[in-house]
Structure 1
Amino acid sequence: MKKRRISSWYYAKKYFMTLSCVTALTAITFIAKPAVAESPPTETATSEEVLTVPEAAQVSPAADKGSVEDVDYTTAAPSEASAETATSESTSTVTSESTSTSAQAAVSQASEQNGGHYHSDDKGNWYYTDANGINLTGAQTINGDRVYFDENGVQVKGAFASDGHYYDPDTGTMWTSRFVSTGDNHWYYVNDKGDKATGLQTIDSKTYHFDNNGLQTKGTRVLINGKGYYFHPDSGELWNNKLRKIYRNTYVNGTYDELWYYYDNDGNIYEGPLTLDGKEHYFTPGEVRWKIFKNPDGTESFYNEDGIKVYNDWGSIRYMYLRGYLWTPKIYLDENGHVVHGFKTIDGHLYYFDESGSLRDDVPGSPKPLFEVDGNQYFADFRGEYSDTRAAILTNRIFTYEGVTYSADETGKLTKVTNRKQYINVGNNWYYVDTYGSILKGEQTIDYVKVYFNQDGKQVKGAFADNGHYYDKDTGAMLTNRYIEVDGNWYYVDQNGNKLYGTQTIDGVQVYFDQNGIQAKGTFADDGHYYDKDTGSMLTKRYVEWDGSWYYLGAEGYALIGEAVIDGVNVYFHENGKQAKGELIIENGEIHYYDPHTGARVSNTTLTINGVTYSFDDKGNGRVI
């Protein structure tokens, strides 16, 4: 007689099967992004990620556009039931809102068997022979396990039996309260009695649907008692009032299309404007993202990469044919969310947007930076040669382009400069045009006066130029041999117009300038001297307060260190020059204490300091008593 031997591998397989089902359910929420294509955009298999939107979002009904399949179900009044799984790994709560058992479930009854034994044939099929030597058929309970044998006595494993129940691929025991996959993305759910669930079901707080045969509904909109429900194509979850993002087309540059859909309260793909979480979206079959959308009133709106309407900001149109080239031009949306056409001042800079709404840009085949609008010429710098702000129109300045000098007014309109060898004022800035009509740059001598022009041609006045020299705020002439104040700091320029640095004597007064040429005032300089806060002259033989501490400057201007007698008073200064106040100091083995207010050494007194009592003699030497 063969006896069925259950090995440790059996238990391992049983655990693995249970775990794999849980893992499979979890895995359906992961996203597989598309690989990079080697050809222009083509339709590919979709993958996705999801974003849940609060069900309170207000949407208006939308007609079913046929993007999802409608299946009409009419059910009886909803009922509820719950069950716990038969496995030790998880517990699921199931609530049924329609019929929850298969047609075959009610007729299957199992018989309790004892005294028989399992045996297998050479094909790996298992049988059970009872005490009378008869192979069992149908539903049976053996050693407490619900099993099933077909009409030939072969035990059913890894399949639904004729009684409508599913039996474990390894042990052959009936599954309950869990999802079942039969391949090809076909999923079922069996309840606590092992019967297939049908209709709407709430499992672990998520809503699913199963057809009349128990097959899970995925990627389909169904009608139940007149109400529409849409179920996610991968997870099978109810997807009403939710967003879904799909990756569809992949491009040779590695980018891809992300398409958003919104399923309304009736499971339809929503079309039209919609506000979700305070942000405006627009949904159409063509997917309004990275695009300009024409409004009924003739204005245009733009929705960014997340499908959100843009206000007071820049946007980019993805892959637009612009002047014969595939490009991604920039656009701008005003305070009303409308696409700007024509001139627009943004953050203090003037720009021009053409009839398509795109910013004039240096795309292949585009016009030169010099362009014309309504008979007037303008210049937009795209390469940073004339302006630090890319694509901004030049205003209030003079510049030379391709050998021609232009003057741009506050509106950006250009006029050719015909003046020669003279100063020209544009936008309250001065320029100089030479004999050839070019604007001068850098250090120049005009009418025997040294002047300086920046790289944009503007004359430097009331400032240090790039060459380190200072130019008068009125005449623009280089200044020499004088003090100069700039932004509250003082400098001194010598006979050549250069800044002075370090310790200097000017008009008999010792002063100091740091590495940037700024005069030291009201501070200790790097040379160790202190300089007056008003005059900047070096101070000597006096107390000074600096950074909350007191110092004494000796005859040479350096801060004193150690014990000292000043004006007949014994005082003490630390290694950094700070005066000791309210401190015990041990000097040459003697204990001294210095008054917290005056800093004078105390004498002929008894003090308790930090819990210790000291007696100080007439010389200020202290001892503990």
Structure 2
Amino acid sequence: MKWNHHYDAQISNTIPFLDSLSPSMVVHTSSYDANLASTRDYLKKKNIQVVHASSLTKDATVFNIADSGFTNVSDSFPDIPTVSEEWYQEDGYWKYRLSDNEMAIGWRKIDNIYYFFNGKGQMQASKWIHLNDSREKLEGNWYYLNSSGKMQYEGWFKQDGSWYYISSTGARLYNELAEIGGKKYLFDKDGKMLTGSQVFNGKKMFFASSGALETDETGSGWQKIESNWYYFDEEGKQIVGKKEINGVTYYFDDKGVMQTGWVSIEGHWNYFASSGAMKTGWIKDKDTWYYLDKEGVMLTGLQEIEGTRYYLNASGAMQTGWKWFDNHYSYFTSSGAMKTGWLKDKGLWYYLDKEGIMQTGLQEIEGARYYLNASGAMQTGWKWFDNHYSYFTSSGAMKTGWLKENYLWYYLDKEGIMLTGLQEIDDTRYYLNASGAMQTGWKWLDNHYYYFATSGAMKTGWFKDKATWYYLDKEGIMLTGIQEIDGSRYYLNTSGAMETGWKQLNGNWYYFQADGSLLRNGTTPDGYKVNQDGIWSLKPDKEAQGSSEEPKKDYDKPVDKEEKSAEAIEKEEAEEIKSTLKADKE
């Protein structure tokens, strides 16, 4: 088997490993032997042949294997030229080339300074290394390689928050009480300097934060050491953690130092006065208020304190003004108390329910409805929401019923919704346009004319507009044509206006009296008779002759024949006068 290829004495080159493979020989491929003495003894005991396949003077080691044994063929090769030792970099690591052109492995003293190179020849730095091993701690001394790879020599050294002391030999001190610079210091099994109350060789000792020994066999009670206060029980044991002393609670850190100010204990913040006494209740620290319960724990979030709710943020600070938490806004006054009910802030009104939650949208409050926008501000005037308009007065209350604004009337139902179109309100019909404004006068709706009085009420029956009479049925629709109304017939033209006098309709002549009603079974003022249907009837002799004569009219008014002859005579006389004048001119 190949042996010591990676300078590994702890995993592959072990006795259990050899037992597992049971080799008849091992080939040692390096000039540096990192194996343990016990392993080498085991090879001899088992009579396992060791072949050293390395050379400090040859580029390669070549063997000829035969039944008679091994022949080192490489002995016939020329020797490696001697080179100067030097530092060089490879793959980001510093390495050291020896005079035989091999790289340095393990501990190497260069220019009177110790360095350590791993199995790949890479210089190690900023780490602890044992003198006899590159992988695990063995019994013996540990040494520190600084960032330059140099072994650290005598003096104090701090790593990961712990202090170590390195002796003049380069080995760190451990498991001992050592005198350094005239003071005594205690180091644990890992070489870390200890502070506070310690027991060494059965003797109680106290070490200051600097590590220097302060007292032996410390007494009980309060003691001030290096400006810090400590408390020792009757057995002289240093107190750590929370401790009630004469009815007052104090806190001592893991070094026994009494704490003041803010201290985190078991995931909670506590506050200790300058005397060390733990505070409870309200405290003011740097202009900010905090609250600590009876256990001294700083509270956060929404808290009810003496019947009033307060909000303390994640840092415990009491909050004022608007705050967003639990998916809603709440308001806290300058005293920190949560506000409920109506609130005026920067000229705007807001409403917060009994839980202090700012309300939005349409809300019923003390019997009145209000609209609060997405920011919670109370709205006034016209507002569009839920696909309709509503109106809110200057007090914010929703308006219902009739509303007059900018000389226009609007109507809002019991839900406050502005109505449009034809609406029946208190048994009267009104027309409200698309903007909700109440309309008056003539309006064309659903292919009909309607008329709305100045009050907005829809008219029905007879009414007079600009000296003209119109008739609207019980639905308010303006009627046209011949209509039977209250037992009488009337003629309403295409504009709805009631007509009087003679009218030719469907080839028949009718006479409508001054009140607009159709004359039936009677004689017209100009002497014509109409039948029971109101139709003008010709005299019998004319009817026999099939006369097509129709009433002559002055605006549909029949004219008698004598008047017609007189007109003809007058016309003839006028023509004669014109002829005479013409002749005189000629």
Please indicate, yes or no, whether the TM-score normalized by the shorter chain is above 0.5. no
TMscore range, shorter length: 0.3 to 0.5
Per the normalisation by structure 1, the TM-score is 0.42
Greater RCO (CA < 8 Å, at least 6 residues apart): 1
